[in-house]
Chains A and B, each alone.
Chain A
Amino acid sequence: MSITPNAAIPRRMSNRALPILVSLFIAVVAAAVAVPVAIVVILSFQTVTTIGRGGFTLENFTTLLGDPSTWETLRNTVVFTAGGAALALFLGSLTAWALTSVNVPLRNFLSVLPVCVLILPPLVKDPAWIILFGKDTGLVNLFAHDVLGMSGSVVNVFSLLGMITVAGFFSAPTAYTILLSPLRGVDRSLLEASRMSGAKLGRTLFSVVLPLVRPALLSAVTLLVILIASGFETPVIIGLPGGIKTFIAEIFESVSSPVNGLNYAAAQATVYLLITTVLVIVYLRATRNERRFVAVGGRGHTHALIEAPVLRWVLFVFVVLYAILGFLAPLGVTILTSFLPYYSAVNGNPFHDFTLANYAAVFTTPQVRSGIITSGTLALGVTIGVIFCTTVLAVVALKTRSRFRRIAELVAMAPIATPALVYSVGLLLTVLAIPGLAKAIYGSIGVMYVAEIIVFLPIAMRLIASSVIQVQEELLEASRMSGASVLRSVVFVLIPIIRPALFYAAAVIFIEAYRQLAAIVLLVASNVSIVPYVSYTFWVSGGYPMLSALNIVTLVLPLAVAFLAFGLGNLGRRARPARKAAGAAGRGFELSMERI
């Protein structure tokens, strides 16, 4: 798209300054992304942690690639990742389609539940699924054994299939939030045309809707694959007891090793970086012709719900079941456990002898309050920073012909190629390497903000980019032709259209940033208490029931934010008149009931 100003209108200063400012911004973000990663790569070719010392060596790589367990680990990672991503994509996309395109009952309320799955931290979700589906003591197996009289284990979460199921259920919200806006943006006229041609619902779905949202699907797949591959909680909490190791769990162990662990971890991270870089390139090539997928245009764009008397109830049950297994059941188990002195399933029903002692401990611990405030403040600042950065990057990458547009997209996606923990190491070494910088900001909370903003750029980019892609360029061109500046066009035309996606992304980023530890574990400022560390203290001091009580209390803030953000996002998509630039015509979105 070329937003070319009318030649008769004098060029404003902002038209010259804006490209320079944007280029500067991209360069700064690129440096913040690239330099720490470069340092990690350099570290992988050394045997000491002092950059530039110790000579160049391939020892770390020969050890890594010569170890047979590396290949087994990679195999486990591929199977775990592919399976988890496939399941997450199925659950997330079907849920998104059901709640945006079909007249499912209570869909406005149900639309928030998938995001609530994200709110539960891994230290709650994974143990909750162990309690539910553990091989020997899981509640499902106990029920099957004690009530139904079955022998053996019906389900076993400590298996590769169990890990895939856990990853699929807990990653589905990512696919869901990516696909929400694009699915809402599918124009009614396209569906009507399919109906008029005699196509049934299924054919319309696969031949019209899915191709239209292909960039979003590809975004979701890419993000899911990388997120699942780089997640270490499930592989550590569930995989280790099951004897299943993934690549990222190996990196976690290496970083924890007291001697030269960082160099070996850097080598592992470099191999990981090569694989994920290929995935990112595949994604970029696949979405090269994104203009073909514009669906949100100006005049005449409407979105319709499918009225299907039977299907709506089938999908309602599907969404409710997903919400139960992904959010309500783990939450319920956590709530019940929080009232126990200890959790033991040896003698049948473990839920007895309820007590408030755990909550008393939580409310009388000063660090809980300071941790919530610090983590909440940090998450809010990170969310604002991430949304701002990715909006700029997404607009440059997808709505301009700037020569930096590919760089913008690459910069936004690149951090996902490096595990958060390893990026943290790289950023630590980067800051320490520059004497003036170290003295100015090392040990400050600012470095924590930088780390989390960079780490979350890819997630926000995928959540926002799908919606930006779908906005027709003619809308922006119409604004420019009417005399509006580039900035004004973006702020008053593009942003309102993608506002729901911005709010959804803000909800996701806030929740992730609130409980993030890997990206900042080596960068935590002094005299700062954060929720993940308070959680760990409770875990080692009081065990799972006390940790459950703490997690219930600390869930209130991200839960409130999720509901608020989604509510605001849903407000944004209701029928309203579009802003009118002089000479530009546009009708707002209208929701209408249409039988197909």
Chain B
Amino acid sequence: MSVTRSTRTPLRRVAAGLLALGVVVALSACGSGGDADGDSGAAADVNKTWTSVDEMVAAAKKESGPLNVYIAPEYAPFVQPGFEKAYPWAKLNVTQLEPVPSVAKWSAELSSGFSQADVVFMHSTGVQTFKDLKALAQVTVPNDANVEPALQDKDHYSHPVTELGEVMLYNTKLISTPPKTVAELADPEWKGKVIMDSPQLGGAGGFVLASERSAMGDAAWQTWLQKVADNDLYVTDTSSASYAAVVRGDRPVCICNYGDYISQAPGTPVGVDFYGQDDRGIVVEPIVGTISKTAPHPALAALFMNWMLAADGGQQGFVDSGRVPTVPVPGADKVSLPEGTKVMNLYEDLGDYISDPDSANTVFKKIFK
């Protein structure tokens, strides 16, 4: 291709123009965005205590457009068809995102001032971030009253829809008695025998280790964490990978999710231990739904959240897919924690971690290199 003089000038101009466009695009990104304070009128509508389903339905029908929901892929298969069956006039736009990227994506949207999300599901550790951004609406729906008290958000920013019981699972062919308490993980007896997901990722391992902080005190807790790390800990990226390693026989014990235990195939040589029953109980971490303060469809969002917490609605879907509900559901025995299992109060025993997860993550990063 010969670049002759007659084409050189237009080429330069075109190239310069596009380069300038690129610079403009980059510069336009600077200073753009804002915090999440929406119109005062919309905020007032979103922060609301709904007293009846009929009230929500009447208000939701006045809103147009589908409800925008960010939810984990494993929940989407029953959430979308279930809600649209219960309310045929309503439509959902479901974006499938795991809780962690969900937080990153919504945070980026809010920073840019372009948030179209109505309802976002996340780990409980993500809620404080959005409270600080003033991005969450305080909404009370009727079915909030049915939620397990230990998981209830008294400020009504979040609504726990399923709970992840963090338990000890152990290979019954390798050991018969796992550690009775979380503190025992630092004992020499358990050197080279424990698996957990990387604490920095805020999963089962992070929650269980963080649960000891308030009881031990910060200095003693960090000393204990170092002993746990020095115990030849086998670290994975997810609690499911930890469970698979225990089943395989790589190590005898893992800090894992109760859901892995209840969904395992019959005959799998894995037992469960609910540590800390003589003390504060096990850690239960919920997946929570939050309603955006700038939700385009606040009433529909509230209706959806109420359905998610309904025993014959979303909660039945969780039970049918082998997940633990947060409200009493008939027939949920097969997936729920055994009756009488002591669980920690999320906001009392883990309040520090929930409100400031970065503080614990900084310690985890320093110790579990």
Q: A residues engaging B (CB < 8 A)?
A: 2-5, 16, 18-20, 22-24, 27-28, 30-31, 34-35, 38-39, 42, 48-53, 69, 72, 127, 130-131, 134-137, 236-237, 240-241, 243, 245, 253, 255-262, 341-347, 353, 357, 365-367, 396, 400-404, 425, 428-430, 432-435, 438-439, 442-443, 486, 521-522, 524-529, 533-534, 536-537, 539-545
Q: When chains A and B are docked, how far (Å) is the Cα of A539 from the Cα of B322?
A: 14
Taking the complex as formed, is B177 at the interface, i.e. its CB lies under 8 A from any CB of chain A? no
Query: CA separation between A261 and B33, bound complex, in Å?
Result: 19
5 nearest CB pairs, A to B: A52-B30, A433-B29, A341-B265, A432-B112, A27-B18
User: Closest A-chain residue to B74, C-beta based?
Assistant: A537
Which residue in B32, B73, B107, B125 is a CB contact (below 8 Å) of A537?
B73
Q: How far is the CA of A2 from the CA of B1 in the complex (A)?
A: 6
Determine whether the beta carbon of B129 is less than 8 Å from that of A259: yes
Q: A324 CB to closest chain B CB, in angstroms? A: 22
Q: Which of B4-12, B294-302, B329-337 contacts A (4 or more CB under 8 A)?
A: B4-12
- In the bound assembly, the distance between CA atoms of A175 and B53 in angstroms comes to 62
Are B240 and A543 in contact, with the CB atoms below 8 A?
yes
**Set B3, B29, B241: member contacting A237, Cβ < 8 A:** B241
A253 and B198 contacting across the interface, CB-CB below 8 Å: yes
A240 cross-chain contacts in B, Cβ below 8 A: 198, 235-237
**A259-B358, A432-B114, A527-B94 are contacts. A486–B1 as well, Cβ < 8 Å?**
yes
Q: Which range contains the number of B residues in contact with the other chain?
A: 35 or more
User: B101 touching A522 by the CB < 8 A rule?
Assistant: yes
Q: B33 and A53: CB pair below 8 A?
A: yes
Would you list which residues of chain B between 67 and 115 have a CB under 8 Å from chain A? 68, 73-74, 76-77, 80, 93-98, 100-101, 103-105, 107-109, 111-112, 114
Known A-B contacts A52-B31, A134-B250, A542-B263; the reply to A536 vs B95 at CB < 8 A is no
Complex CA distance for A435 and B33, rounded to whole angstroms: 10
Whether the Cβ atoms of A438 and B112 lie closer than 8 Å is yes
> In the bound complex, do residue A258 and residue B103 qualify as a contact, i.e. CB atoms below 8 Å apart?
yes
Given A347-B173, A433-B28, A256:B100 Cβ within 8 A: yes
Besides A343-B247, A346-B269, A522-B101, 14 more A-B contacts (Cβ < 8 Å) are A51-B33, A236-B237, A237-B237, A253-B198, A258-B123, A258-B357, A342-B247, A345-B248, A432-B111, A433-B29, A434-B28, A522-B108, A543-B260, A543-B265
Task: Decide: B237 and A434 in contact? CB cutoff 8 A.
Answer: no
CB distance from B10 to the nearest CB of A (A): 6
Residue on A with the closest CB to B32?
Answer: A433
CB neighbours of B202 from chain A (8 A): 256-258
- 22 A-B residue pairs with CB within 8 Å: A20-B11, A23-B15, A24-B18, A31-B22, A52-B31, A136-B251, A236-B237, A241-B234, A343-B247, A344-B173, A344-B248, A346-B248, A404-B15, A429-B112, A430-B29, A432-B33, A526-B93, A526-B94, A527-B94, A533-B96, A536-B73, A541-B263
- Please indicate the chain B residues that have their CB under 8 angstroms from the CB of A529 in the complex: 73, 76, 96
Contacting residues, chain A, for B265 (C-beta < 8 A): 341-342, 357, 543, 545
Is there contact, CB below 8 Å, between A30 and B22?
Answer: yes
Output the least CB separation between B223 and chain A (Å): 20
Residues of B contacting A72 in the complex (Cβ-Cβ under 8 angstroms) = 369
User: Contacting B250 at CB < 8 Å: which of A3, A69, A137, A435?
Assistant: A137
The minimal Cβ–Cβ distance linking B356 to chain A, given in whole angstroms, is 8
Interface contact A52-B108, CB-CB below 8 Å: no
User: Would A341 and B267 count as touching, CB distance under 8 A?
Assistant: yes
Docked complex Cα distance between A258 and B133 (Å): 13
Asked if A50 contacts B97 (CB within 8 A), the reply is no
Cα(A152)–Cα(B350), bound, Å: 42
Specify which chain A residues have a CB less than 8 angstroms from the CB of B219 in the assembled complex.
none
Q: With A and B bound together, what is the CA distance between A430 and B14 in angstroms?
A: 22
User: What is the CB-to-nearest-CB distance from B72 to chain A, in angstroms, rounded to a whole number?
Assistant: 8
Residues of B within 8 A of A18 (CB): 1
Of chain A, the residue at the smallest CB distance from B197 is A240
Contact of A526 (CB < 8 Å), options: B68, B201, B269: B68
Interface membership of B341, Cβ < 8 A: no
Give min CB distance, B118 to chain A, whole Å: 12
Q: Tell me which residues from 19 to 35 in chain B have a Cβ below 8 Å from any Cβ of chain A.
A: 19, 21-22, 25-26, 28-34
Report the minimum CB–CB distance from B77 to chain A (whole Å).
6
> Does A19 lie within 8 Å of B96, measured CB to CB?
no
- What is the CB-to-nearest-CB distance from A126 to chain B, in angstroms, rounded to a whole number? 10
CB within 8 Å for A28 and B18 given contacts A443-B95, A534-B73? yes
Complex contact B244–A544 (CB within 8 A): yes
- Complex Cα distance, B237 from A130, in Å, reads 15
Is A257's CB under 8 angstroms from B358's CB?
yes
Separation of A545 and B80 alpha carbons in the complex (Å)? 27
Contact for A38 among B26, B195, B322, B357, CB less than 8 A: B26
Known: A433-B25, A541-B322. A258 touches B129 (CB 8 A): yes
Q: Is the CB of B95 within 8 A of A39?
A: no
Asked, given contacts A432-B109, A525-B95, A526-B94, whether A137 binds B1 with beta carbons under 8 Å apart, the answer is no
Report whether A428 and B11 are in contact in the complex, using a CB–CB cutoff of 8 Å: no
Closest beta carbon of chain B to A33's beta carbon, Å: 10
> CB distance A524 to B95 under 8 Å?
yes
Which residues of the partner chain A approach B77 to less than 8 Å between Cβ atoms?
365-367, 537
Interface presence of B179 (CB below 8 A)? no
Chain A's nearest CB lies how many Å from the CB of B327? 21
A20, B8: Cα distance in complex, Å: 9
Q: List the B side residues contacting A137 at CB < 8 Å.
A: 248-250
Check if A524 sits within 8 Å of B29, measured CB to CB. Answer: no
Asked if B64 lies at the interface with its beta carbon under 8 angstroms from chain A, I say no
CB contacts (< 8 Å) of B260 on chain A: these are 543
Q: Are B32 and A51 in contact (CB under 8 A)?
A: yes
Residues in B neighbouring A545, C-beta threshold 8 A: 265
In the assembled complex, the Cα of A5 lies from the Cα of B2 at a distance in Å of: 9
Q: Is the CB of B114 within 8 A of A260?
A: no
The answer to the question of B314 belonging to the interface, with a C-beta cut-off of 8 Å to chain A, is no
Q: Let me know if B93 and A527 touch, CB within 8 A.
A: yes
Contacts of A256 in B (CB 8 A): 100, 200-202
Which residues of the other chain, A, contact B123 by a CB distance below 8 angstroms? Answer: 258
Determine if A344 and B247 form an interchain contact, defined as CB atoms under 8 angstroms apart: yes
0 or 1 for each of B194-222: is its CB under 8 Å from A? (1 = yes): 01001011100000000000000000000
Chain A hits for B101, CB < 8 A: 255, 521-522
Using Cβ atoms and an 8 Å threshold, which residues of chain A touch B286? none
Task: Find B2's partner among A2, A262, A425, A525 (CB 8 Å cutoff).
Answer: A2
Are A353 and B116 in touch, CB under 8 angstroms?
A: no
- Do A50 and B111 touch across chains, with their CB atoms under 8 A apart? yes
Query: What chain B residues lie within 8 Å of A135 (beta carbons)?
Result: 250
